């Protein structure tokens, strides 16, 4: 593997954590066992990003479409997110990780909402890795919510429609203080973005890896970062203009 240039790391990494179900199926285990195994990968990647000095990490934890899964699996996922976050929070706080949930959080179970809010308030002053947990998140829903907020501001007379620019629109997204992802990693070999950060990934480099999420560890992250550093980011221009 080529050497990683620590001076050319992405500021923000977004991850679609795919393959938990297939990991469990390959082992004749219930799907929830795959989600439980995937939680260990979450810990490894958070630690890796923190150690590398990555500014922000956003994890696709539960999509707005995931409610269509069997009720038992959904309930298991809600419990797992709540239990693991409660267990890991003291260590995350000690390592200066700032935790925030993005999505339509008000639709989640009340007990999970309380844990997420506690994590946010406890860590909001931390200065290390920004960890965004996308829960009940959908990219189209985020854009709709931003558009509704802007429309309400216009109706109230606080904003003229002609004042709505890309910069103004972006300030009404779920995490406006987080830079757009430079790198989007998707595991399990699937070649789609699955309604994830649709506005924010406009110029993200996408790296798809065949590894199922429960098997994803620091070595896989480093390989993805090396691949990212091989890319020439042009943002719609040509290299001699940059």
- Catalytic residues, by residue number, are 18, 66
Token pair recorded at residue 144: 């709709």
Which run of H or E residues covers position 16?
strand 12-16
Q: 221-239: string of b/e by CB count within 10 Å (b at 16+)?
A: bebbbebbbeeeeeeeeee
Per the DSSP assignment, residues forming a β-bridge with 134 are: 60, 102
Task: Name the DSSP letter for residue 30.
Answer: -
Tell me the HSE value of 106 on the side-chain side, using a 13 A CA sphere.
Answer: 0
99: helix, coil or strand?
strand
Report how far residue 18's alpha carbon sits from residue 221's, in angstroms, rounded to the nearest whole number.
14
Asked if residues 67 and 108 have their Cβ atoms less than 8 Å apart, the reply is no
Q: Are strands 56-63 and 183-186 parallel, antiparallel or unpaired?
A: unpaired
């Amino acid at each position: 593997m080529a050497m990683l240039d620590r001076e050319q790391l992405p500021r923000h990494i977004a991850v679609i954590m795919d393959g938990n179900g297939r990991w469990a199926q390959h082992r004749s285990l219930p799907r929830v066992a795959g989600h439980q195994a995937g939680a260990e990968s979450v810990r490894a990647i958070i630690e890796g990003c923190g150690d590398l000095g990555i500014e922000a990490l956003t994890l696709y934890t539960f999509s707005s479409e995931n409610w269509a899964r069997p009720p038992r699996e959904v309930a298991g996922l809600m419990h797992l997110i709540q239990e693991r976050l409660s267990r890991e929070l003291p260590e995350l706080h000690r390592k200066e990780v700032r935790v925030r949930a993005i999505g339509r959080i008000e639709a989640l179970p009340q007990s999970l909402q309380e844990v997420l809010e506690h994590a946010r308030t406890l860590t909001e002053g931390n200065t290390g890795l920004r960890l965004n947990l996308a829960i009940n998140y959908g990219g189209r829903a985020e854009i709709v919510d931003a558009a509704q907020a802007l429309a309400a501001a216009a109706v109230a007379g606080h904003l003229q429609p002609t004042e709505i620019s890309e910069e103004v629109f972006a300030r009404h997204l779920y995490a406006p203080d987080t830079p757009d992802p430079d790198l989007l990693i998707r595991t399990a070999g699937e070649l789609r973005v699955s309604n994830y950060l649709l506005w924010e990934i406009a110029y993200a480099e996408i790296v798809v890896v065949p590894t199922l999420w429960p098997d994803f560890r620091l070595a896989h992250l480093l390989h993805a970062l090396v691949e990212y550093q091989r890319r020439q980011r042009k943002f719609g221009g040509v290299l001699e203009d940059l």
